[in-house]
């Protein structure tokens, strides 16, 4: 687990510029109807399936036929929580500070099967976390199921580890952050926030931008100055700064907010499992932290915060 240790990594994820976000005047949706991945969406994840299938389980069964263990994992992932693990398209992406990156489809079978296991474990753990945190409380207006996973492999590079589009997470089997169960959990939790943020009409840019920009204006990329404001410990080796404050990475406030989500998980999980925090609560840092935290927790997690008052 990376908590409390400064973990040097090359890059976390990449949230594409959400200029296509919904109308800026849209109000937050308080609750979501039951949604699921459509057959057409699932078909796009399995271009290698030539058999005429009539349902998603058939697509999964056919795609994973070469690796029965992976097939069992992929079917269980779908049956448990509606998540479908397939492949992404070949693409040449503009990775901002990372440069151009070629991504190719890579189904998580054989030598890559461990990644499917980690994703399955991460989704199960996320489900269990929310079930426990909101036990006897109304569920938050937040989605963590029915997600499309597009497995890809970067050619000649190991970034980005993952990126999010609408209810879809692209997962790079060569990603630097995706080399352990803990790294995969944290990365997926971060990515799922991006999809929820985008669905709320780019909430983070509308509500956290002012404080975020003021922090960047004050600190630039200096670690010592940024440290009190950084929600998570992930840093970018290439530039030597916190991932939440890395520039030329889309709108950095998206990353700051997604790292807030990871901090939320870490702190609530510690309260649930140990009854105390192993480090001071984020909200007890500078006033910017307290403002961001309250707005963020109220918007996405129904105001539920088990950490004690400062
Ligand atoms: Zn991100």
Judged against a pLDDT cut of 50, whether residue 4 lies above it is answered with: no
Distance 12 CA to ligand 1 centre (A): 7
3-class DSSP assignment, residue 167: coil
Instruction: Please give the pLDDT value at position 32.
Output: 45
Q: Which ranges of the chain would DSSP assign to H, the alpha helix?
A: 39-45, 56-63, 68-81, 113-133, 181-199, 203-207, 209-219, 223-226, 252-274, 287-300
Domain annotation covers residue 226? yes
Distance 11 CA to ligand 1 centre (A): 10
Distance 37 CA to ligand 1 centre (A): 22
Domain annotation covers residue 310? no
Distance 186 CA to ligand 1 centre (A): 11
Domain annotation covers residue 251? yes
Domain annotation covers residue 2? no
Compute the average pLDDT of residues 76-93.
Answer: 95
Judged against a pLDDT cut of 60, whether residue 8 lies above it is answered with: no
Bridge partner residues of 14 (DSSP): 163
Distance 246 CA to ligand 1 centre (A): 11
Instruction: Please give the pLDDT value at position 131.
Output: 96
For the chain, the maximum distance between any two Cα atoms, rounded to a whole number of angstroms, is: 59
Compute the average pLDDT of residues 99-128.
Answer: 96
The total number of structural domains in the chain stands at 1
Higher pLDDT pick, 77 / 234: 77
Distance 184 CA to ligand 1 centre (A): 13
Distance 122 CA to ligand 1 centre (A): 17
Q: What is the percent of the chain with per-residue pLDDT over 70, rounded to a whole number?
A: 89
Cis peptide before 160 (omega within 30 of 0): yes
Distance 192 CA to ligand 1 centre (A): 9
Domain annotation covers residue 67? yes
Per-residue pLDDT reduced to its tens digit, 230-250: 999 888 877 888 999 988 888
Domain annotation covers residue 309? no
Residue-number span of the structural domain to which 252 is assigned: 8-300
Distance 278 CA to ligand 1 centre (A): 25
Instruction: Please give the pLDDT value at position 203.
Output: 98
Instruction: Please give the pLDDT value at position 7.
Output: 33
Judged against a pLDDT cut of 60, whether residue 10 lies above it is answered with: no
CA distance 8 to 240: 9
Q: Which single residue is written with the structure tokens 């005047």?
A: 25
Compute the average pLDDT of residues 151-171.
Answer: 92
Domain annotation covers residue 53? yes
Please give the mean pLDDT across all residues of the chain: 89
Domain annotation covers residue 198? yes
Per-residue pLDDT reduced to its tens digit, 12-66: 455 544 333 333 333 333 344 467 999 999 999 999 999 999 999 999 999 999 9
């Amino acid at each position: 687990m990376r908590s409390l240790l400064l973990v040097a990594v090359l890059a976390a994820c990449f949230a594409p510029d959400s200029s296509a976000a919904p109308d800026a005047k849209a109000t937050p949706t308080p609750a979501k109807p039951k949604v699921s991945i459509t057959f057409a969406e699932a078909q796009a994840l399995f271009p290698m399936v030539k058999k005429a299938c009539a349902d998603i389980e058939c697509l999964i069964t056919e795609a994973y036929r070469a690796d029965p263990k992976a097939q069992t994992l992929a079917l269980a992932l779908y049956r448990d929580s509606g998540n479908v693990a397939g492949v992404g398209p070949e693409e040449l992406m503009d990775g901002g500070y990372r440069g151009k990156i070629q991504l190719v489809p890579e189904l998580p079978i054989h030598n890559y099967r461990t990644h499917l296991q980690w994703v399955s474990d991460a989704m199960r753990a996320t489900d269990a976390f929310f079930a426990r945190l909101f036990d006897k409380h109304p569920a938050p207006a937040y989605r963590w199921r029915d997600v499309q996973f597009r497995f890809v492999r970067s050619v000649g590079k190991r970034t980005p580890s993952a990126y999010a589009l609408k209810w879809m997470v692209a997962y790079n089997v060569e990603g630097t952050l995706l080399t352990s169960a803990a790294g995969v959990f944290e990365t997926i939790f971060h990515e799922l926030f991006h999809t929820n943020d985008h669905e709320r009409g780019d909430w983070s840019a509308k509500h956290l931008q002012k404080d975020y920009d003021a922090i960047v204006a004050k600190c630039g990329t200096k670690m010592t100055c940024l440290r009190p404001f950084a929600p998570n410990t992930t840093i970018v080796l290439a530039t030597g700064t916190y991932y939440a404050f890395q520039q030329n990475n889309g709108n950095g406030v998206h990353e700051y907010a997604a790292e807030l989500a990871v901090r939320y998980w870490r702190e609530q999980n510690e309260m649930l499992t140990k009854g105390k925090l192993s480090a001071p609560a984020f909200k007890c840092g500078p006033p910017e932290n307290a403002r961001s935290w309250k707005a963020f927790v109220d918007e996405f997690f129904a105001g539920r915060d088990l950490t004690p008052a400062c």
